[in-house]
Amino acid sequence: MAGVIDMEISLPRSEANPKLNEIAHGRPGTPFAQPLPRPEGYGFDNYARVFRSRASGSVEKTDDGGLARLVSDMDRAGIARGLLVGAENVATRRIHAAFPGRFFLFVTFDAYDVMRAVREFERLVREEGANGLRISALYNGIPANDRRYYPLYAKAVELDVPVRIYTAMNYANDRPYDLGHPRYLDDIAVDFPELRIVAGLAGWPWVGDMVGLLRRHPRLYVDTAAHHPRYFGQPGSGWEQFLQFGNTLLQDKVMVGLSRYLFGVSFEEIIAEYGKLPLKEKVLEKWLSGNAKEFFRLD
């Protein structure tokens, strides 16, 4: 299907700053000046144990052709645009200039920078073309409803750009498992009713809470990133309520995150898997592109 909008495309590893990954996957919060070595397999290393297929080398290799090859792969699969994750804030202008109209670039900040972050956020949107804000408690241990984020949310409303909030259980066993619980979205949506929010990663395993909040808040959307589509239609997977409502009452709220980098397959294969789900034809089109066009106001 032409014109797909992918809510999670990973920056090719060849173009990523490895220091960012090292920092993000380190100790949560502010590191102590003299840390002791961490236990083997602790923290983010636990993902390799839980998701063994990811540990076996299914992610993109360093010799990956960079963004040019990524865009070529997108073209072949009929992907019009994608939300690019993993890029530094300072790369926003460069990526937009090199590949105009192909990527949404959401910027992220340290919650402790408060007003400095607000001023830089505004500059990045107005001068560099940043498309939104990304918040992830998974990395800093600060839930999304913390008051330190509120100036950023207010600025996002003022700038009329959306925010993507990490909303899912995490397997980094050095921090609380529920840092991304959907309940944190409720406070934000109540306090900022004009803010467009997308719950990244669909709120697993709190599917019932996610469905309820999507019904409750008109500007709250969800994306399916980091989950293989075949599980949404698998009986006993826990996704039954999500699929039922996503095919009916919430059909205008779901956007796909293909997360190709996690599964080691082509864009075409993942899109084909969505086509196998028991979704009405018009609903499938909404999931793959229509809802994202509404969310980003592309029409």
Q: Is the model's pLDDT at 165 over the cut of 50?
A: yes
State the pLDDT confidence band at 9, using cuts at 50, 70 and 90.
Answer: very high
Which residues, in sequence order, are CB contacts of 21 under 8 Å at separation 6+? none
Domain range list for the chain: 4-29+38-296
Average pLDDT over residues 259-282: 97
pLDDT at 229 over 90: yes
- The per-residue pLDDT for 242 is 98
Q: Is the pLDDT of residue 82 over 80?
A: yes
Q: Which residues contact 155 (CB under 8 A, 6 or more apart)?
A: 118, 121, 122
Helices (H), 52-149: 52-55, 66-77, 92-98, 114-128, 137-140
Is the per-residue pLDDT at 164 higher than 70? yes
Residue 71 vs residues 103, 276, 280: alpha-carbon distances, Å? 9, 25, 29
- Architecture per CATH, domain 4-29+38-296, reads as Alpha-Beta Barrel (3.20)
Q: Indicate if the pLDDT at residue 3 is higher than 80.
A: yes
The one-character DSSP state at 195 is: -
Sole residue written with tokens 């072949």: 76
In this predicted structure, the answer to whether residue 40 has a pLDDT above a threshold of 60 is yes
Q: Strand, coil or helix: what is 38?
A: coil
Q: Indicate the SS3 state at residue 94.
A: helix
In this prediction, residues 87-116 reach a mean pLDDT of 97
- Can you read off the two tokens belonging to residue 242? 């999500």
Q: How confident is the model at residue 58 (pLDDT cuts 50, 70, 90)?
A: very low
Q: Which residue has the higher pLDDT, 109 or 25?
A: 109
Of all residues in the chain, what percent carry a pLDDT higher than 90?
87
Q: Quick one: 171 exposed, middle or buried, by C-beta within 10 A (0-12, 13-18, 19+)? A: middle
Residue 21 reports pLDDT greater than 90: no
**90 Cβ contact partners less than 8 Å away, ≥ 6 residues apart:** none
**What value does the mean pLDDT take over residues 67-80?**
98
* Contact (Cβ atoms closer than 8 angstroms) between residue 144 and residue 184: yes
Per-residue confidence (pLDDT) for residue 2, from 0 to 100 = 63
How do residues 104-159 score in pLDDT, each as one tens digit? 999 999 999 999 999 999 999 999 999 999 999 999 999 999 999 999 999 999 99
Task: Report pLDDT for 53.
Answer: 60
Q: What is the pLDDT of residues 166-221, one digit of tens each?
A: 999 999 999 999 999 999 999 999 999 999 999 999 999 999 999 999 999 999 99
Least confident of 20-29, 189-198, 274-283: 20-29
